[in-house]
């Protein structure tokens, strides 16, 4: 999953690539998803039964693991996709539009996904539900998601002044700024992202920058307990001194689905502590 995150993923919102008028009238029944969060969203909105093939990284919910795999983070197997006879492909515009161009030229409709913030995910769920003929269940799922998001905003949205450093990966030491979802999560939870002024969404930083910022909390998107071990070399850092080094479930936080709020709530609780 980590390698997917190296791509520029937090850009404009929901986009549907060239849908011929005749195809728009028919509800898709054979869907190929080549990005993990869209695979998951299909099940969230009640359209999982339409999924016929996935990418290598799609692993949730567990039942998708038996689906044929037709893509990975580097490429899409055009012949394997065509063998599934899809009437809709779900993809990621900034990362996959060039790879999917040959399929678009063949007239296969492509739904492009890129929510820009937590609220816009609900818009994407509704759009996908309308396209797939499951509008009612998709709207209900979007409403539940927005209700939980609102609850988190009300409970944790007040500024705390707590300085937070988010380690996207290491090495090289890379963080997040701007509209990257971990950065938005820190802000939503009332924390202060110490890399918020970085010029790029995923800045590579040096240890000295972090030491100067002296965060009270250091987070990392990983389940590997060794991911944060290198910080023990700087025991005077506030986060190290007070044992505030925390792992976040990256499959939840980095994928644009309602499950992201599980990780957001964990971050909020950590900031409040």
Please check the confidence at residue 150 and state whether its pLDDT lies above 90: yes
Give the span between the Cα atoms of 216 and 27, in whole angstroms: 51
Kindly state whether residues 164 and 147 are assigned to the same domain.
no
pLDDT of residue 25: 52
Claim to verify: residue 205 and residue 264 sit in the same structural domain? yes
How far apart, in whole angstroms, are the C-alpha atoms of residue 41 and residue 127? 11
Q: Are residue 78 and residue 63 in the same domain, yes or no?
A: yes
> 179 with 144, same domain?
no
Are residues 139 and 180 part of one domain?
no
The structure tokens listed for 29 are 């029944």
Q: Averaged over 190-201, what is the pLDDT? A: 94
Average pLDDT rounded to a whole number, residues 77-99: 93
Asked if pLDDT for residue 51 goes beyond 60, the answer is: yes
Q: Is the pLDDT of residue 252 over 80?
A: yes
User: Where in the sequence is the domain holding 27, given as residue range(s)?
Assistant: 2-152
| Range with lowest mean pLDDT among 11-15, 157-161, 238-242, 249-253 | 11-15
- Pair 67, 167 in one domain: no
Q: What is the pTM of this model?
A: 0.87
User: Which pLDDT band, with edges at 50, 70 and 90, does 93 fall under?
Assistant: confident
Q: Note whether 120 and 226 are same-domain residues.
A: no
In a shared domain, residues 162 and 108: no
* Claim to verify: residue 130 and residue 163 sit in the same structural domain: no
Burial of 255 from C-beta contacts in 10 A (0-12 / 13-18 / 19+): buried
Q: E strands along the chain, which residues? A: 15-17, 31-33, 51-55, 69-71, 88-92, 110-113, 163-167, 192-193, 217-221, 245-248
- Of 130, 152, 174, the residue at which a domain comes to its end is 152
Same domain, 112 and 195: no
pLDDT for position 18: 40
Query: What value does the mean pLDDT take over residues 148-156?
Result: 97
Query: What is the count of structural domains for the chain?
Result: 2
Q: Is 9 exposed, middle or buried (0-12, 13-18, 19+ CB in 10 A)?
A: buried
Spatial contact of 112 and 17, defined as CB atoms under 8 Å apart? yes
pLDDT tens, residue by residue, 11-39: 333 444 444 443 455 899 999 999 999 99
Here the CATH number for the domain that contains residue 214 is 3.40.50.1980
Average pLDDT, the chain: 90
pLDDT of residue 13: 36
* pLDDT band of 112, cuts 50, 70, 90: very high
């Amino acid at each position: 999953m980590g390698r997917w995150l190296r791509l520029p993923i937090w850009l404009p919102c929901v986009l549907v690539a060239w849908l011929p008028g005749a195809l728009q009238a028919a509800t898709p029944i054979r869907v190929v998803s080549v990005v993990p969060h869209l695979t998951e969203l299909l099940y969230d909105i009640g359209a999982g039964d339409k999924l016929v093939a996935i990418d290598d990284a799609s692993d949730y919910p567990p039942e998708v693991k038996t689906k044929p795999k037709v893509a990975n983070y580097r490429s899409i197997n055009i012949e394997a996709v065509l063998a599934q006879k899809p009437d809709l492909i779900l993809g990621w515009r900034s990362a996959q539009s060039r790879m999917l161009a040959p399929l678009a030229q063949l007239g296969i409709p492509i739904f492009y996904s890129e929510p820009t913030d937590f609220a816009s995910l609900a818009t994407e769920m509704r759009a996908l539900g309308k396209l797939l003929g499951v509008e009612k269940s998709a709207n209900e799922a979007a409403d539940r998601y927005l209700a939980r998001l609102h609850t988190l905003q009300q409970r944790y949205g007040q500024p705390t002044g707590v300085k937070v450093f988010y380690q996207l990966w290491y090495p090289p030491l890379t963080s997040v700024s701007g509209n990257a979802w971990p950065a938005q999560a820190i802000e939503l939870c009332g924390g202060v992202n110490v890399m918020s002024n970085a010029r790029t969404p995923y800045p590579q930083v040096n240890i000295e920058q972090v030491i100067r910022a002296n965060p009270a909390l250091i987070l990392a998107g990983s389940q590997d307990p060794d991911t944060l071990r290198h910080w023990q070399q700087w025991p005077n850092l506030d986060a190290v001194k007070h044992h505030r080094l925390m792992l976040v479930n990256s499959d939840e936080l980095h994928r644009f689905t309602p499950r992201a709020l599980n990780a957001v709530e964990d971050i909020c609780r950590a900031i409040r502590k």
